[in-house]
């Protein structure tokens, strides 16, 4: 069974701080996606990383895929209250259509 563990589970920080969320597995994935989910809504895709070692930047968000394609991280620089939400990683394998979702990291940024 493929599992994705995210850490930390909860994170409360002040506006302006930096943070990193980790997504780890013992399985190899062909790609890994990061989503953000607001209460009562569906996950919204932020980025997809495909190549081992790949780094993608989306404004203040930096995503990295591990060299072995088993783990990923999301780094937010100078967090803002608008970054508050549930962040989910989700992995995909070549031989399957489904996404395996991580356990989620709930981020709260206080002004």
Partner 1 sequence: EPEVTQTPSHQVTQMGQEVILRCVPISNHLYFYWYRQILGQKVEFLVSFYNNEISEKSEIFDDQFSVERPDGSNFTLKIRSTKLEDSAMYFCASTIGRNTEAFFGQGTRLTVV
Which residues of this protein are in contact with partner 1, per CB under 8 A? 30-31, 33, 35, 40-45, 48, 88, 90, 92, 94, 96-104
Q: Which is nearer to partner 1, 36 or 70 (CB)?
A: 36
**How big, in percent rounded to 5, are the helix, strand and coil portions of the chain?**
5, 55, 45
Beta carbon of residue 97, minimum distance to partner 1 (angstroms, whole number): 4
Q: Which is nearer to partner 1, 26 or 80 (CB)?
A: 26
Q: Which is nearer to partner 1, 66 or 102 (CB)?
A: 102
- The CA–CA distances, whole Å, from 31 to 4, 19, 27, 80 equal 13, 23, 12, 28
Beta carbon of residue 94, minimum distance to partner 1 (angstroms, whole number): 7
Beta carbon of residue 45, minimum distance to partner 1 (angstroms, whole number): 6
Q: What is the DSSP letter of 27?
A: S
Are 87 and 74 in contact by the 8 Å Cβ rule? The answer is yes
Residue 37 to residue 104: CA distance in whole angstroms: 10
Q: Which is nearer to partner 1, 59 or 94 (CB)?
A: 94
């Amino acid at each position: 069974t493929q599992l994705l563990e995210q850490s930390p589970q909860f994170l409360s920080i002040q506006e302006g701080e930096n943070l990193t969320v980790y997504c780890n597995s013992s399985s190899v994935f062909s790609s890994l996606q990061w989503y953000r989910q607001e209460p009562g809504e569906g996950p919204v895709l932020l980025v997809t990383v495909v190549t081992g070692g790949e780094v993608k930047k989306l404004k203040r968000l930096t995503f990295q895929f591990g060299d072995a394609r088993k783990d990923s991280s999301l780094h937010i620089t100078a967090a803002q209250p608008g970054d508050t939400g549930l962040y989910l990683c989700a992995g995909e394998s070549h031989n399957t259509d489904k996404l395996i979702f991580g356990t989620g990291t709930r981020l709260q940024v206080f002004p």
